[in-house]
Amino acid sequence: MKSSVKNSIKNFRNIRKMKGQKGQLSYIIKPLSLVMTIVLLLILYNSIQNFGNRERQAQQGLDLTADATNILLVLANSEDCLAYRSAVTQGLYANIVDVTKLNSFAAKYSDSEPECARSLDFGWRVTVIEFKRSAGTTIEGSKWSFGANEFSRDSAFRNSLDFSIPVAIRYSDKLTRAGMMQVHLVDGELEKISGMLDWYCEMFKSNRFTKGSAQIMTSYPLSFNTTDGELCSMSKEKSCRKMWCPIDFEEIKSGGTYILKMNYADGAMVVKS
């Protein structure tokens, strides 16, 4: 009888001990489970963020490629740009550019994009290279270059692309040479802001708008050079872009987000921040 009681007491103590151990394990396991859950959620969040970033980068690359293609095709095939028009048939020929127009563009647009193919989203510079035969081999001949020669720098720079298409360069009825037209396209803050201002300039000049406003983000101070008609970003090395309109521009003295308010008076666009 006494032995049975002792065994019962012993079993009861063992059961309480085991319950105590389980309780201690639960105090350890629950925090670990919480930590593991948080870690898994962070991994999932980072994966979603990385996927979103890759999607945005891919879309930006497609936008650059589409704009580069469009710029080159317009330059090569628009009569307002470089396309050759036959004096006999009055017809235009695909990707045949007139050397006279090439010479004119290289001289006139040495530091800005021609209006016939200017982008309001990106800045660009084009180089046309002639190929000719010499001693049985193909070598580079004459070169022409035109378009913007300054772009967004440092933190204001976002992306760039080099793209090219084949062209034929017509000298005369008897001489046409093969060539290549290559564009260097840049996406940046200065290009976006100047494009927006150029768009408002056109709207004001055509009397479609009398005033407007737009939000911009700039990493650096902005100012307008009235002598050269250029909007300038004051990064480590100043970058400027020629504008379509004279601008009375209130200087932005530091980087940040701003609301620009615009109107048109006495042949100039007034821009206040």
Give residue-wise pLDDT tens across range 46-93: 656 655 444 454 455 568 999 999 999 999 999 999 999 876 666 667
| pLDDT score for 90 | 60
| pLDDT score for 2 | 46
Q: Is residue 270 scored above 70 in pLDDT? A: yes
| pLDDT score for 236 | 86
Average pLDDT estimate for 143-161? 96
Q: What is the Cα Rg of the chain in Å?
A: 33
Please tell me what DSSP assigns to residue 164: E
Give kind and range of the element (H or E) at residue 123.
strand 123-134
N- to C-terminal Cα distance for the chain?
Answer: 98
Q: Is residue 227 scored above 50 in pLDDT? A: yes
- The helix/strand/coil state of 169 is strand
Closest CA to 247 of 204, 192, 206, 218: 204
Q: Is 238 exposed, middle or buried (0-12, 13-18, 19+ CB in 10 A)?
A: middle
Average pLDDT estimate for 131-142? 89
C-beta atoms surrounding 165 within 10 Å: 16
> What SS3 string covers 37-66?
HHHHHHHHHHHHHHHHHHHHHHHHHHHHHH
Q: Residue 27: pLDDT band by 50, 70, 90 thresholds?
A: low
Q: Is residue 147 scored above 60 in pLDDT? A: yes
Average pLDDT estimate for 180-188? 97
Question: Which residues are 127's β-sheet partners?
Answer: 145, 182
Closest CA to 183 of 123, 115, 242: 123
Please give the C-alpha separations between residue 12 and each of 1, 7, 25, 54, in angstroms, as whole numbers: 17, 9, 20, 62
Which distant-in-sequence residues (6+ apart) come within 8 Å of 260 by Cβ? Answer: 213, 214, 215, 216, 271, 272, 273
List the structure tokens of 110: 């040495």
Which of 35-39, 51-55, 236-240 has the highest average model confidence (pLDDT)? 236-240
User: Who wins on pLDDT, 113 or 6?
Assistant: 113
CA distance 149 to 130: 21
Q: Would you say how long the chain is, in residues?
A: 273
